[in-house]
Chains A and B, each alone.
Chain A
Amino acid sequence: MDKSLALLGLVDTGSSYGYDLKHRYDEVFGRGKPIAFGQVYAALARMIRDGLLTTLGEEAGAGPDRKRYAITEAGRDRIREWFSTPDRPAPELADNLFVKVVLACMLDSDADELLDMQRSEHLARMRELTRIKQHSPLLERLAVDHALFQIEADLRWIDMTSARLTDMREEVRRNG
């Protein structure tokens, strides 16, 4: 998962200092694996360079920890593009999708839509595999079945999450 997008999304929920962003990230997405300060500042610097972020009321010569970051219109576009791009079904998917859904709830973006698109992407991949399976020898069929069950597990998570979006939005707002 691209951690800078998660950081960008967090800045979109309200301008913030690097220090606060790091702690906010750990709290929402860290799940026992905190992000390093160095990684946060490197990502922020890159996004400033790319025009996705800007700094507010910067004191001359202030160090990175004294800067207050805000998202730009280009940054918002980048988030929208990210939300509207379904992930390819793959083992690392859960991370990226999880972050997208949580941020979509925080930003009042259409998380239902995002999950629906993801569902279509998964089902399209399952259809593809099912087609392959129908013309395969038994051993290969077993391997394809394994892949199918894994995608299906993702889909169940998507269905479950979709059913819990209302609760999730409330919880995210309470903690925000």
Chain B
Amino acid sequence: MADIALNPATTVPARGTPLIRAIGLHKSFGATKALRGIDLDVNQGEVLAVMGPSGSGKSTLIHCLAGVLAPEEGQVVIGDTDVTALNADERARLRLERIGFVFQFGQLLPDLTALDNVALPLLMNGVGRRAATVRARKWLDRLDISDQATKVPGDMSGGQAQRVAIARALVTQPSVIFADEPTGSLDSVAGEKVLTAMLEAVRESNTTVVLITHDARTAAYADREVIVRDGMLSAASRGVAA
């Protein structure tokens, strides 16, 4: 088993140094070349927006960064862990302990209450039921949805459900959050509220965020953006002068 520390604070570098480093990523699905040589650094505490046309490879990129997919070529390092050198089990463990995910929708378990949904990742990490519940409540409170604690996702509004999903992603205090169109299903006012709630929480804890969005207003909350086009980063994103 690779050495993956549970407490991110002890292993992550200081703000301003790369927490995530991707070098020369290539990923294909059959004949489709989804990633064609991506180099990317994301600093500790940075909020990075990933933009680009549909089908350009944005989701594939974050799946490779997060160890969900293994690239055929290239390397991904998070903190001091070479993600691409891990086997599937080790990658799953890395995700559980150090990475949070937020997707557009359909990610909460429909039969569990908001509180149980948020407590679940802690239970999976071996935290006791009582402690897990206390921490889950704290995160529901921070995202201003304590009143939803006993509801199941089907009885919440889209914006409320998204906040629960964000609380669930943050509850383990991961070093990185990967978000794929987290506000894509909400109108602009609700989307903005969910986004600012999430960013407030991550900025406080200096969590690194990689956020896919097609929406410029959402990207404007990030520190920086990169554009993915045809599986590569645009020259402007690579900091190359024209």
A interface, CB within 8 angstroms of B? 83-84, 110, 112-114, 116-117, 119-120, 122-123, 126-127, 129-130, 134, 148, 151-152, 155, 159, 162-163
> Are B242 and A163 in contact, with the CB atoms below 8 A?
no
**Interface membership of B236, Cβ < 8 A:** yes
Interface set of B (CB-CB < 8 Å, partner A): 53, 196, 216-217, 219-223, 225, 227, 229, 234-237, 241-242
A173 → chain B closest CB, angstroms: 22
Check A120/B221 contact, CB under 8 A, given A83-B242, A84-B242, A114-B242.
no
| With known contacts A113-B235, A116-B234, A116-B235, A123–B219 Cβ distance under 8 A | yes
Contact, CB under 8 Å: B242 / A123? no
> Nearest CB to that of B199 among chain A residues?
A134
| A110 to B236 Cα, complex, angstroms | 12
Bound form: Cα–Cα A20–B151 in Å: 72
Hey, which chain A residues are within 8 Å of B236, CB to CB?
A: 113, 116-117, 119-120
Chain B contacts for A152, CB-based, 8 A: 216-217
- Determine the main DSSP class of B at the interface with A: loop
Q: How far is the CA of A21 from the CA of B227 in the complex (A)?
A: 37
How far apart are B60's CB and chain A's nearest CB, in angstroms? 20
Instruction: Please indicate the chain A residues that have their CB under 8 angstroms from the CB of B237 in the complex.
Output: 116
**Which residues of A are found within 8 Å of B219, using beta-carbon distances?**
123, 126
> What 8 pairs across the A-B complex have the smallest Cβ distances?
A126-B220, A116-B236, A130-B220, A84-B242, A116-B234, A120-B236, A155-B216, A113-B242
Instruction: Provide the bound-state CA to CA distance between A113 and B227, in Å.
Output: 12
Query: A173–B170 Cα gap in the complex (Å)?
Result: 53
Query: Which chain B residues border A151 with CB–CB below 8 Å?
Result: 216
Q: Which residues of A contact B217 (CB under 8 A)?
A: 126, 130, 148, 152
* B contact residues around A113 at 8 Å (CB): 235-236, 242
**12 further contact pairs, Cβ within 8 A, besides A114-B242, A123-B219:** A110-B242, A116-B234, A116-B237, A117-B236, A120-B225, A120-B236, A126-B217, A127-B220, A130-B220, A151-B216, A152-B217, A155-B216
The answer on a CB contact under 8 Å between A117 and B216 is no
Once the chains are docked, how many angstroms separate the CA of A58 from the CA of B241? 40
Given A122-B216, A126-B216, decide whether A117 and B221 contact each other with a Cβ distance below 8 A: no
Which residue of chain A has its CB nearest to the CB of B215? A152
Nearest CB on A from B71, distance (A): 24
Complexed CA–CA distance, A83 and B53 (Å): 23
Question: Within 8 Å CB of A163, what residues of B?
Answer: 53
> CA of A51 to CA of B18 in the docked complex: distance in angstroms?
48
